Amino acid sequence: MPIEDAQRWNQRYQAEVKNALVNHRQFLHDNAKYLPKKGVILDVAMGLGKNAGFLLSSGFQVIGVDISFAGVSIAKEHFPEIQALVADLNHWIFPENYFDGIINFYYLQRDLFPKFKYILKSGGILIAETLMKVSIKVKPELTPEHLLDHGELLSLCQDLEILEYREGLVKSRRGLELSIASIIARKG
């Protein structure tokens, strides 16, 4: 499966590169103030690096990880100061108490959430946002196992201090109203 995932994302990123680098996520823009100004931020499944690019331009040090060689190459080309690597997160060895912040947008791998607590430094911040299962009603091609149930993101972050949480609708670039869950949490 990881090889197929990498191939699928490589094709998508190569096709969408011009439009995809334009906008970082609004939830990140509105809440980057929670991230420590000094230190290292991990961008999980960074894709083309648009969120990492926003953080870099705001003065953060960013390490980005993605399974797609094309995504990482494009991110490095557009944001040369990013530290980016191609990795399968199922097999990546996470360094304990290393990151001051983690961002995770529109990628759901449930078994990563306990690892987030392990790799965050004390006081480190997690900012995450992803789609909920109800989004299938307007976008039926979505894969249910990659979508959240109501309240599930809160449950996944139960070992962290919740600073902000919301579930609601956002308008996609294609004009669809999708259901999302967003969280900001801190390691105690």
Phi, psi of 71 (to 5 degrees): -60, -45
The proportion of the chain whose per-residue pLDDT surpasses 70, expressed as a percent, equals 89
Q: Cβ neighbours of residue 85 under 8 Å, at least 6 residues apart?
A: 63, 64, 65, 72
108-122 pLDDT, tens digit per residue, is 999 999 999 999 999
Q: Rounded CA gap, 67 and 75, in Å?
A: 13
Q: What is the mean pLDDT of residues 36-62?
A: 93
What is the model's pLDDT at position 2? 67
Q: Rounded CA gap, 147 and 124, in Å?
A: 25
**Is residue 32 pLDDT above 80, yes or no?**
yes
163 CB burial (10 A radius; 0-12, 13-18, 19+): middle
122-168 pLDDT, tens digit per residue, is 999 999 999 999 999 999 999 999 999 999 999 999 999 999 999 99
- Domain residue ranges in the chain: 2-186
Q: Rounded CA gap, 43 and 75, in Å?
A: 12
What is the model's pLDDT at position 46? 94
**Is residue 91 pLDDT above 80, yes or no?**
yes
- With b for 16 or more beta-carbon neighbours within 10 A and e for fewer, the 75-87 pattern comes to bbeebeebebeee
Q: Rounded CA gap, 51 and 141, in Å?
A: 25
CA angle 113, 119, 124 (to 5 degrees): 90
1-21 pLDDT, tens digit per residue, is 566 766 665 565 555 655 555
Confidence of residue 171 (pLDDT cuts 50, 70, 90): confident
What is the model's pLDDT at position 19? 52
> What's the mean pLDDT when you consider all of the chain?
89
Domain 2-186 in CATH: superfamily? Vaccinia Virus protein VP39 (3.40.50.150)
What is the model's pLDDT at position 93? 85
